Every structure is written in structure tokens, then in C-alpha cells.
Structure 1
Amino acid sequence: MTAGETGRGLLELTRPVNVIAASVLTFIGSFVAGGLAEKPLATAAAVGATALAVGAGNAINDYFDREIDRINQPERAIPRGAVSPRGALAFSLLLFAGAVALAITLPTLAIAIAAVNLFALIAYTELFKGLPGLGNALVAYLVGSTFLFGAAAVEEIGPAVVLFVLAAIATVTREIIKDVEDIEGDRAEGLHTLPIAIGERRALTVAAGLLVVAVVASPVPYLRGDFGLAYLVVVAPADAVMLVAAYESFADPSSGQSRLKYGMFLAALAFIVGRGVRSLPISL
């Protein structure tokens, strides 16, 4: 392998789209907490720590999952030989070190959240991934906690709690659908994911039910007065996209989880818009 191919492989290990998405959620947490203007350096440190930690977590996940990926994702960097397992492990540890260096500059609560998340990222594959529902719940916590981390960085966590809950529920749904998509390789590896434990259709029904809960709860930030009317205008199509994705997953889990991701991104945009124009009168 050439240096260029190895470099591309290392970048792939981090899942750049996931890194960007998590960084944006951390930024939104700070923004919603209202501390962005007052503490831009803390926000930047939190966003940077999130990016490095997520990249590290994805890289170490690929290191532990390399045998499963030979079945489910043979085009990934380690199975195709672009990056060696040892190289992936070293790369992930380097990224983790960078995340820690940034996180320790933040307030105590943010450091505590970062510490829990770093442990969870490392432990996920070896301890939780194969346990029915628990692995999904841990990933959901990690995604939702990006809001909490961003808010804690500017020392105003209250407004981000609802966002944490909604994001976590939506993420559980997507993770269950992904487990249905990956059921062949997971079964071959001896994992006991939710679809393997209770069946694919029942798992998808659980996922859809959870998503309905999130959709029904989505107006809460508006009702609490945290967001303005514009939030409802943007979150409504996001809810529609996610509900369609859940329905679609029964026939095509791959397409369903992909569409659900877009709905979640649109919901994140609703949080930004809602906070930014929350003073709009309801008559608009």
C-alpha cells in the first residue's frame, strides 16, 4: 500500500461524516445553552474534543470488528489491507490522547461527561456491542450526550437535556435497524444483538415504537419555551422523514437507516433554527 492509500484508510477509519455530525451536535449543545457568544474558546475545545474522540472510537471499533467486517463490510480500510490492525489501534490511541488534552481544559462537568464517554467508546465493542439492546442504548447515550457535553462546556446544561433524550431515542431506532441490516455477520461472529435475540420483525417493531415516542415528544422544547415557532416548522418534516424511514426499514433496512440519518440531521437543524428565532410571534 502507498502512503496515500494508507492516509485515505486512516481517514476512513474515523468515519468523517460521523465525526462532523457529532461535532455539529456538540456545537448545537453550546448554542442552545446560550453560551456560544460568551465562551467561544470553550465551545471550540468541546467541538475539537468531540471530533477526535468520535474518530478514535470509530477507529478502535474497526480494530475490534475487523473479523466481522470481512463479512459485513469487506471494503473497509482494515479488511482490504489499507491499514494494518496495529496501525489502526495506534491511530485510535493518538486521537484519544488529543481528545483528552482538549477536554481537560473544560469545566468539571464537561470533563466528567468526556471521561464517561471515552470509557464507553473503548468498552463498546468488547463489552456491550453483542448484548441485546444494551449496545444500542450505549450508542444512543453517546450520540445524545454530545448535546450535554457542548452545554456543559459553557456551564449551562439545562436546555440541552430534552435534546439529549430526543436524540438518544432516535439513535436507538437507527442502531436497531442497522443491527437488522448486519444480522448475517453478527450471527456468524456469535453476537447476540436484539434482532438475533427476538427476531428481525420484532426488533424493527420495537425500533418503530421508540421512534413514535420521540416524534410525539418532539414539540416539548417549543412547549417549554426553549425554542420558537420556527422549530416546529422545521421539526415537522424531520419527523415525517424519520417515520417514513422506520416504515421503509421493514422492507429495506439499509435504505431505512440511511433515510433515518437524514431525518436526524434535519431535526438537528430544527434545534438551531428554533433557538435562533425563538422570539418569533406565534401568529407567524
Structure 2
Amino acid sequence: MSVAGTVRGLVELTRPVNTVAAGALTFIGAFVAGGAFAEPVATAAAVGATWFATAAGMAINDYFDREIDRINNPERAIPRGAVSARGALAFSLALFAGAVALALLLPPLALGIAAVNLLGLVTYTEYFKGLPGAGNALVAYLVGSTFLFGAAAVGDPLAGGVLAVLAALSTFTREVIKDVEDVAGDREEGLRTLPIVMGERRALVLGTVLLIVAVLASPVPYLAGTFGVWYLVVVVPADAVMLAAAYRSFDDPEAGQQLLKAGTFVAAVAFVAGRLAAP
């Protein structure tokens, strides 16, 4: 494998779209808390720590999942030989070190959130992924906590609370849909994911119910006076897209997951719009 091929493989391990999105959610958390520009150093450190930690989590997940990926995702960097398993592990450890270095610049509460999240990322695949619902819940927490982390970095963690819950619920649904996609490889590896334990359709129903709860709760920031009316203008289409994604996932889990990602992105835009239009 050429140097260029290895570099490309390392970049793929970080899942650039996912890592940039995680950093953006952390920034939104700081922005909603009113400190993104008032505390630029803390905000930058929080966003950077999130990027490094997410990239490290993605890389170490691929390291532990390398045998499953030979079945479910043979095109990924390790199965196709672009990066060795040992190289992926070393790369992930270097990324974790970068996350820790930046997190040490933050206030104690933000540092505590970072420590919990780093532990969750390291233990996810080895200990939680194969437990029915536990892995889904951990990933949901990790995504939701980016809002808390960004808000805590600038001194107001409660400002990101509602957003964290909404993001966590929608993420749980997306993780269930992903498990439905990966049933073949997960069953081969002996994992006990929700679709394997309770059946694919029942798992999707559970995910849909939780998503409906998130949609019903989505007006809360506006009703509480935290966000302005533009939040509702943007979040209503986001809710519609996410509900459509849940419906689509019963026939086409891959398409449903991609549609849910799009809806989540629109919801993130709604948070920014709502803060800009806050009373």
C-alpha cells in the first residue's frame, strides 16, 4: 500500500463528516450558552477536543470491529489493507492524547464531561456494543453530551440540557437503524444487539417511539422562552424529515439512516436560528 493510500485510510478512520459534525454540535452548545465568541479560547479548545476524541473513537471502533467489518463493511480501511490493525490502534491513541491535551484547558465540569466521554469511547466496542440497547444508549449519550460539553466549556452547562436530550433520543433511533443494517455481521460475531434480541421490526418500533417523544418535546425550548420563533420555523421541517426517516427505515434501513442524519442536521440549524432570534 502506498503512502498516499495509507494517509487516505487514516483519514477515513476518523470519519471526517462525523467528526466535523460533532465539533459543530459542541460549538452550537457554546453558542446557545452565549459564550462561543465571548470565550473564544475555551470554545476552540472544546471543539478541538471533541474533534480529536470523536476521531479517536471512530478509529478504535474500527480496530475492534475489524473482523465484523470484513463481513459488513469490507471497503473500510483496515479490511481492505489500507491501514494495519496495529497502525489504527496507534493512530487512535495519538488522537486520544490530543483530546486530553485540549480538554485540560477547560473548566472542571467540562473536563469531567470529557473524561467520562473518553472512557465511553474507549469501552464502547469492547464492552457495550454487544449488549442489547446499552451500546445504543451510550452513543446517544455521547452525541447529546456534545451540547453539554460546549455549554460547560463557557460556563453554562444547563443551557445545553434540552438540546442534549433531544439529540440523544434521535441518535438512539439512528443507532437502532444502523444495527438493523448490520444484523448479518453482528450475528456472525455473536453480538446481542436490539434487532437480534427482540427482532428487527420491534427494534425499529422502539426507535420510532423514542423519536416521536423527541419530536413532541422539540417545541420546549421555544415554549420556555429560550429560543425565538425562528427555531420553530426551522425545527418543524426537521421533525418532519426525521419522522419520514423512521417510516422509511422499515423498508430501507440504509436510506432511513441517511434521511435521519439530514433531519438531525436541520435540527442543529434550528438551534442556531433559535438562539439568534432569542427574546
> What secondary structure sits across from 2:172 in the alignment?
helix
For residues 111-149 of structure 1, the C-alpha deviation after alignment (integer angstroms, 9 at most, x for no partner) is 000000000000000000000001000000000000000
For 1:51, the aligned partner's letter is W
* Counterpart code for 2:189: E
Where structure 1 has 5 or more consecutive residues not aligned to the other structure, the ranges are 280-284
Supply the distance in 2 between the matched residues of 1:133 and 1:158 (Cα, whole angstroms). 26
Name the amino acid aligned to 2:74: P
Amino acid at match of 1:181: E
Distance 1:60 1:248 in 2: 31
Q: Aligned equivalents of 1:212 and 1:226: distance in 2? A: 22
Counterpart CA distance in 2 for 1:263 and 1:8 is: 29
Measure, in 2, the Cα distance between the counterparts of 1:37 and 1:87: 38
Name the CA distance, whole Å, in 1 between partners of 2:154 and 2:40. 9
The 2-side partners of 1:129 and 1:100 are apart by 24
- Alpha-carbon distance in structure 1 between the residues aligned to 2:169 and 2:208: 10
* Aligned equivalent of 2:46: 46
- Aligned residue for 2:208, secondary structure, equals helix
Using the size of structure 1 for normalisation, the TM-score is 0.98
CA offsets per residue over residues 223-260 of structure 1, 9 Å max, x none? Answer: 11110000000000000000000000000001001100
Give unmatched runs, 5+ long, in structure 2. none
**SS state at 1:81 partner:** coil
Partner-residue secondary structure (3-state), 2:231: helix
Partner of 2:259: 259
Cα offset, 1:208, TM superposition: 0.6
Q: CA deviation at 1:15?
A: 0.3
Q: Following TM superposition, where does structure 1 have runs of at least 4 consecutive aligned residues deviating by more than 4 angstroms?
A: none
Amino acid at match of 1:266: V
CA distance in 1, matches of 2:56, 2:88: 9
Partner of 1:186: 186
Q: What amino acid is aligned across from residue 16 of structure 2 in structure 1?
A: P
Q: Hey, what does 2:151 align to over in structure 1?
A: 151
Q: CA deviation at 1:157?
A: 1.0
**After the TM superposition, which residues 1-284 of structure 1 pair with which residues of structure 2 at under 5 Å, given as runs?**
1-279=1-279
The one-letter code of the counterpart of 2:165 is V
Give the secondary-structure state (helix, strand or coil) at the position aligned to 1:83.
coil
Q: 2:159 is paired with a residue of what secondary structure?
A: helix
Percent of aligned pairs with the same residue? Answer: 71
State the 1:37 CA deviation. 2.3
Please report the RMSD computed on the Cα atoms of aligned residues, expressed in angstroms: 0.5
User: Aligned partners of 1:218 and 1:119: how far apart in 2?
Assistant: 30
